[in-house]
Amino acid sequence: MKNLRQPESGFSWFYQRFLNNHITILLLNIFLLLLVVNEIVQNAGLLDPIWKFASITMPAIVVAGILFYVLDPFVHLMERRLHIRQGLAIAIAMLVAVGAIILVFLNLIPFLAKQAAGAVSTLPQFANDMLAKLNHLNQVHHWISTNNLDQVNQRVTTYFSKRGLNLLTGTLTSIGNVVTTVSDWVITIITAPLVLFFMLKDGTRFPHYVSQVVPTAYRERFVVMLDQMNVKVSSYVRGQLTVALCVLIIFTTGYSIIGLRYALLIGLLAGPLNLIPYFGSAIALIPALIIGAITSPSMLLGVVIVYLIEWVLETQVLSPLIMGNSLAMHPITIVFVLLAAGKMFGLVGVIFGVPGFAVLKVLVTTAFQWYQEYSALYPDVFPPEDKLGEP
C-alpha cells in the first residue's frame, strides 16, 4: 500500500508562507531598524557629547580633507617621479601650500579691503541712484501711486524703529558669536595641519585599518566600497575647485574688460559661490547686475554678455572636460539634493550635500548588491550555483 502524504499542519503552512519568507524577513529588519532610529531620536539628548565633539573636530577634518585631495596627487608625483621619501614629500607639499596661501593673502587682502571699503562707502550713492531710477520709471509708467510709496516708506521706517529697540541686545549677542567663531577658527587652524599630515601619511592604509572591525567575509567588499567613495569625493572636490578657479578668472577678466567697477571683488565672490552647483554663478550675478544697471544700460548689457560667455564655457567646456560624469547623477537629482540639503543644513548642506549624497549612494548601492547576492529574490541577477556551469 502506498504511503499517503500527510497534509501540512496549520503551523507548518504559516511558517513556510510567512515566517520563512525572504520578504517577511526583510520587512522585519526594516521595522527593527526604524525602531532603533526612533529610539535614537527620542533619546537624542544622550548623544549631545558626541555632537559637541563632532562640532569641534569636524571643521578641522573638513579643511584637512579638502587640502588632502588637492595635495595628495603632488605627494604621489614626488614619490614616484622624483623618488623623494614620503615624509619629505609631505613636508614639501604642505610648505608649498602654506607659502602659496600666505602669498595670496598678503597680496590680495589689502587690495580687496580697499575695494570693499570703496564699495561700502558708495552704498548710499548706489541706493540714491537706484531710487532715482525707480522713481523715474514709476513717473513714466505709473506702476505705484504716490500714496502707496508713502505707505511703504512709513512701514519701512516703523520696522527699523522697532528693530532699533533690540539693537543693544543684538550687538552683545553678535560680539559673543564673533568671539566663539574666532576661537573655533583658531582651533581649526591649529589642528587642521596635523590632521592633514596624517591623512597624507596614512591615507592609503586607512581602508585597511577600518576594515579590521568588519567581519572577514565582508572585508573585501567593504574595502571596495571605501575606494569607490574616495574616488567619488576626490573627483568631485578636485573638479569643483578647478572649475571655481576658472570661473573666478573668467568673471574677473570679463568684468575688467568691460570696465565694471569692483570687478576683482565680484570675481572673487563668484569663484567660491560656484561651489554651489547650478545656483552659485547666478547668485554671484546679482551684484554685477545692480552695479551695471546703476552705471549705464550699455554696462548692464556687458554684464549679461560676460555672464552668458561664462555660462557657455562652464557648461559646455569646463564642466564636461574637468568634471565629466564622475558622480553619475542626473542633474534633476542634484537640484533636489541641493534643495533638501539646503533646507536641512543651510549653507553647509548646499556645499557638501552633493558629495555627501554620492557617498550615501555608494553605501546604499553596495548594501543592495549584497542583498541581491544573499537573498533568493533576484535569480535573474545572480543565477543559482548549480546552473553556473551549464551551457
Residue 153: predicted pLDDT: 57
> What was the pLDDT predicted at 2?
46
C-alpha cell at position 262 = 569692483
Q: Give the pLDDT confidence of 94-116 residue by residue, as tens digits.
A: 898 888 888 877 877 777 777 77
pLDDT score recorded for residue 187? 76
Task: Look at residue 15 in the predicted model and tell me its pLDDT.
Answer: 59
Q: Give percent above pLDDT 70 in the chain.
A: 71
| Residues 6+ positions from 349 with CB-CB distance below 8 Å | 340, 341, 342, 343
pLDDT value for 175: 46
The four Cα atoms 162, 163, 167, 171 give a dihedral, to 10 degrees, of: 160
Q: How far is C-alpha 293 from the chain's CA centre?
A: 32
**pLDDT of amino acid 253:** 92
Work out the average pLDDT over 34-54: 77
Query: What is the band of 171 on the pLDDT scale with cuts at 50, 70, 90?
Result: very low
The confidence score (pLDDT) of residue 233 equals: 85
CA–CA separation, 326 and 320 (whole Å): 10
Whether 118 shows a pLDDT value over 60: the answer reads: yes
Report the C-alpha gap between 257 and 326 in whole angstroms.
34
pLDDT given for residue 190 in this prediction: 82
Task: Taking residues 383-387, report their average pLDDT.
Answer: 47
pTM, entire model: 0.69
pLDDT score for 390 = 43
Instruction: Taking residues 368-390, report their average pLDDT.
Output: 60
Cell numbers representing residue 29 in the block: 529588519
pLDDT value of residue 257: 92
Q: What is the mean pLDDT of residues 314-331?
A: 73
First to last CA, the chain: 42
Q: Give the pLDDT of residue 217.
A: 80
More confident residue, 283 or 167: 283
Question: Residue 54 is placed in which grid cell?
Answer: 563632532
| Candidate from 96-110, 112-126, 331-345 with smallest mean pLDDT | 112-126
For residue 378, pLDDT beyond 80 = no
| Res. 213 pLDDT band, cuts 50 70 90 | confident
- Average of pLDDT values for 247-255? 91
* Per-residue pLDDT band at 379 (split at 50, 70, 90): low
Amino acid 337: pLDDT: 83
DSSP line for 165-194: HTHHHHHHHHHHHHHHHHHHHHHHHHHHHH
Give the per-residue pLDDT at 305: 92
pLDDT at 221: 84
For residues 345-361, average pLDDT = 82
Torsion of CA 269, 275, 280, 286, to 10 degrees: 0
pLDDT at 212: 83
**Count of Cβ atoms closer than 10 Å to residue 269 Cβ:** 19
